[in-house]
Amino acid sequence: MRPAAMTEPVAPPVRVAVLISGTGSNMVALIDGSMKNGGAYEVALVVSNVEGAGGLAVAAERGVRVVAVPHKPFGKDREAHERAIDAVLRDAEVEVVALAGYMRVLTPWLVGGWCGRMLNIHPSLLPLYPGLDTHARALAAGDAEAGCTVHLVSEGVDEGPVLGQARVPIQPGDTPDLLARRVLEAEHRLYPETLDAFCRAMRAR
C-alpha cells in the first residue's frame, strides 16, 4: 500500500508541523521531500519536547522555524505541556501535524484536537509490533519481512488507520540494528510520499 508520488502542484501547500524528540532524520526527509513529491505540503514548523534535540539545529539550517517546548517544567501534567505545544501550532497556522520520532505518548486531549490531521510513522508493518523494539521482535518471530507504516494518530498507541506501508525483506544475518537502518531508509521514502498524497487529498476535499 504505497501511494504514488504526484506531480501536479497544490496551492497553497498544506502547512505541516513536524514533532520530534531526537535526531529527526524523518523530519529532514519530510523537509527535503516536500518539493520532490510535488509540493502538496510545506514544513512550516518543527517542534521538539527536548531543548537540545539535534534535529532542531538541522531544521533551522534548512530555514525552517523551530521551537522547543520542554516537557520537564510541566512535571506530570502532560496535558498542560500539550496545551503549550498546541498554542505554538495554532499560532503558526499549522494544518497538519506529523510525528517523527516524538517519544511521548499523547493524551486524548491533543489527539482529539487534531483528529484526522495528525500522522505518525512507526517502524513495523502495523498492526504487527506496536510499541518499542519492533525490529528485535520481528527477528525473534522469524518473520521474512519487516517494514514501516504511516498512520493517522488515534487514542490507542500505534493503532490509527493506515495511510501507507513499505516492506523491507529480512536478510540472513540481520541484527536489530542492521534491519533498523534499512527500514529507516524506507521510512525516508515512505513518509514524504504519504504525507504529500494525504495533503493533496485534503486540498481536494
Q: Are 70 and 50 in contact (CB under 8 A)?
A: yes
Annotation says 151 is catalytic: no
User: Nearest approach, Cβ of 99 to ligand GRF (angstroms)?
Assistant: 7
Looking at beta carbons only, is 121 or 152 nearer to ligand GRF?
121
Looking at beta carbons only, is 83 or 167 nearer to ligand GRF?
167
* Residue numbers at the binding site for ligand GRF (CB under 6 A): 20, 22-26, 100-101, 121-123, 148, 184, 187
User: Nearest approach, Cβ of 48 to ligand GRF (angstroms)?
Assistant: 10
Q: Which candidate in 81, 122, 135, 188 is catalytic?
A: 122
Q: What is the CB neighbour count within 10 angstroms for residue 205? A: 4
Looking at beta carbons only, is 10 or 150 nearer to ligand GRF?
150
Q: Rounded distance, CA 86 to CA 80, Å? A: 10
Q: Are 195 and 150 in contact (CB under 8 A)?
A: yes
Residue with the CB atom nearest ligand GRF in the bound state: 101
User: Nearest approach, Cβ of 101 to ligand GRF (angstroms)?
Assistant: 3
SS3 15: strand
Closest CA to 69 of 21, 119, 16, 115: 21
Between helix 176-204 and helix 25-36 the angle, nearest 10°, is 40
User: Nearest approach, Cβ of 185 to ligand GRF (angstroms)?
Assistant: 11
Looking at beta carbons only, is 10 or 194 nearer to ligand GRF?
194
Q: Which residues of 102-116 are buried (b: 16+ CB within 10 A; e: fewer)?
A: bebebbeebbebbee
C-alpha cell at 80: 498542560
Instruction: Report the catalytic residues.
Output: 122
